[in-house]
Amino acid sequence: MMPPGGAGPRGEQIAALAVIRHSALTDPAMDDLLARAASQADGLDAWQAANLREMRRDHAHAAALPSDLVEALSTATSNCETIWRTARLDANFAAVLPALTEVLSLTCRKGEALSSAFGVGLYDALLDAFEPDGRSAEIDPVFDAYAAFLPDFLDDVLARQKSLPEPELPPGPFPIERQRTLVHHMAETVGLDFESARLDESLHPFSAGIPEDSRITTRYDEADFTQALMGVLHETGHAMYERGRPAAWRYQPVGDARGMTIHESQSLLVEMQVCRSAEFMAWAAPVIRDAFDGAGPAWGSENLARLAIRVDPGFIRVDADEVTYPAHVILRYRLERAMLHGDLALPELPGAWNDGLRDLLGVTPPDDRLGCLQDIHWYDGAWGYFPTYTLGAMAAAQIFDAAKKADPSIAPSLGQGDFGPLMAWLRPNIHAKGSFLSTSAILQQATGQALNAAAFQNHLRARYLPA
């Protein structure tokens, strides 16, 4: 909502706040306060002890970074993200290259400082900000296995699709005002209360705010209503997780979200696992049809359900189907590691991106807007974030499977547009855990297993290659 001319001053404000926060966390008195708290650990209950653990973690990470680096990185990312907005629209990577070069240089300095402080590799030091204790050594075999699994599976899925009648695209255009009404209604159906939430438009969809004030965004295309619809459902999943965090600890570290793997699991559970299911689409199809005054077989439940799970290798990650989506993430993961370790020079990024997407999915972006400029993350300083999307997709399949087994009413309820039983299970088992447990422990407790790819691959086989 900010006017373009406000970007510079807003960047200065954010940088100033970052330095103030950093100064508070690294105040010399903090070491003594934390030590005194630790000496009284025997008198703490489990949540208090976990809160102290998270406080010490926040302090240690802040103490590893000099304040001038915190300020410089905040300013650089604000500047780069502003330039990226125009560069993306113009498909002009060269325009943002100088600003991104500065961001990468400062990010490497940050990674090196954290790496030295915690004795982990540079990439793992940055990944840790988004997935606490996450390690590339654990991610590599999972991603490599999926990259090996994908080609044959994708061929089989595409062959099966080809053997069936082609689903019919509903005729557009789809007026944006009608799309706004539809996606607002769908977010409410998931459980988002607009008495304490907003839905707006942005260049890149996101979810932000606090539990009592959710802010989600999407983008609209008059030729394709599904982009806005699925974007809102995804971001609503994020918002519902935030709103379910433990109220008693909401303003303490232990009450924070437990990393982006769990966060992304909640958005992808809503968008991919639930809202592309045949059960949900049976309820949603008439709602979607009525929103656009549609008529004819293209608006039928079966047709819209098949469109919702149609596999079509493409250029854009946020619009990708769930079979090819992990390939987009694997590409970004490999590229950002190469750039951080100096194995890929930034000017070579567009070509490396195009080559990588061609190798993984057989498609080559025609320009940088559909290639390396499509995501905000690197330009906004989020290096080490991307792996959590696919880890989240795998966790989502595992969580949804466990939820349905625990409460058999969940799937039939979703077929009536009722998310109540699902959210009633997610709140105590996932949302209300906050940062009390590690990601692995949350999943172990909720599903009986640590994070693994089995449930995700089983889900894909059942949905896309049914017996």
Q: Which residues are known to be catalytic?
A: 235
The β-bridge partners of 209 are 214
Q: How many CB atoms lie within 10 A of CB 435?
A: 25
Alpha-carbon distance 70 to 289, whole Å? 50
For 119-257, strand residue ranges (E) read 197-201, 207-210, 213-218
Q: What is the dihedral of CA 80, 83, 86, 89, to 10 degrees?
A: -30
Burial of 25 (0-12, 13-18, 19+ CB in 10 A): middle
DSSP 318: G
Phi, psi of 13 (to 5 degrees): -65, -45
DSSP 436: S
DSSP 207: E
Burial of 357 (0-12, 13-18, 19+ CB in 10 A): buried
